[in-house]
Amino acid sequence: MSGVTNPAIRDRSRVGFIGLGNQGAPIAERIARADYDLTLWARRPESLQILAGKAKVAGSITELAASVDILCICVVDDAGVRDVCDAALVAMTPGSMIAIVSTVHPDTCRSIGKAAALRRIAVIDAPVSGGAIAALAGTLTVMMGGSQADCARFAPLAETFASLVVRLGEIGSGQAAKLINNALLTANLMLAHEAAFCGSVLGLESAALSRVIAASSGNSEAHAILSRLPDLQSFAHGARLLAKDVDLFAALLTREGGTAEHIVGEASAFLSIFDPASSDPKGTP
């Protein structure tokens, strides 16, 4: 990562990982493949099976926290991050680090950072983009927020599962960038969905139109996502995760006196398709 780390330096910190979901598990697998001393903990023991024999397993969060130099947290939401950090901070040794890989509110990272600093424990936020496929391939994007020194320390570990590792600023900055990205993706999903609907209204063969858009200037990651789906409702779980992020984005902007009516408007329109209380005026192509 330009200006942050020397690729020739290979860190061999003891790493802990909590949050072995759809994206967390392949990230942890990439870390294990890079020969880091990796320890895992999970609320659901069955989620550990995918990494059986590739990492150590701790019996509790505190046991894990006491034995690692860098703790990566990749759970679903703010409450989950706070719960893990509350348990971990009492056991972590001074000089160790927490990397919040989850997508959460920037203030969550800042408040944890303040509490950790009292124990001389570093905290950075390092949310990722790219999904499970990119995680498996090691081509995620990592958006870091934290001091230059702390981000430089984490960067070699991030490079085991990411092809782009960028520091955005102080703690919370990575989360702000991730929320912008996810709100924009959600808005683009609405535009891509509407474009497909327009094609059906105009009598175009849907697969042919999709191929044309994919090879033309109107292409986007949102179009690629929708093109892979067997039907729109199969994206319901992804929509729920994006709804959390769009809400955080809108609240953060409002607090700071900013607006993004077009992004939030289109994103909200897309998410309403998955709300049973709403109807999709454009149908489901």
Helices (H), the chain: 24-33, 61-66, 78-89, 106-117, 131-137, 148-158, 173-201, 206-214, 221-228, 236-255, 261-272
Judged by DSSP in three states, 118 sits in coil
Q: Are 55 and 63 in contact (CB under 8 A)?
A: no
Q: Catalytic annotation on 178? A: yes
Residue 249 corresponds to which tokens in the numbers above? 């984005």
The distance in angstroms from the start CA to the end CA of the chain is: 42
* Burial class of 29 by CB neighbour count within 10 A (0 to 12, 13 to 18, 19+): buried
Q: Are 10 and 156 in contact (CB under 8 A)?
A: yes
CA torsion 149-152-153-158 (nearest 10°) is 150
Strands 128-129 and 140-145: antiparallel
Q: Specify the residue for token string 């900055």.
A: 173
Q: Which of 56, 178, 244, 282 is catalytic?
A: 178
Residue 199 corresponds to which tokens in the numbers above? 């094609």
Strands 56-57 and 37-41: parallel
Q: Are 172 and 107 in contact (CB under 8 A)?
A: yes
CA atoms of 25 and 136, how far apart (whole Å): 9
CA atoms of 249 and 105, how far apart (whole Å): 8
User: Which residues are known catalytic residues?
Assistant: 178
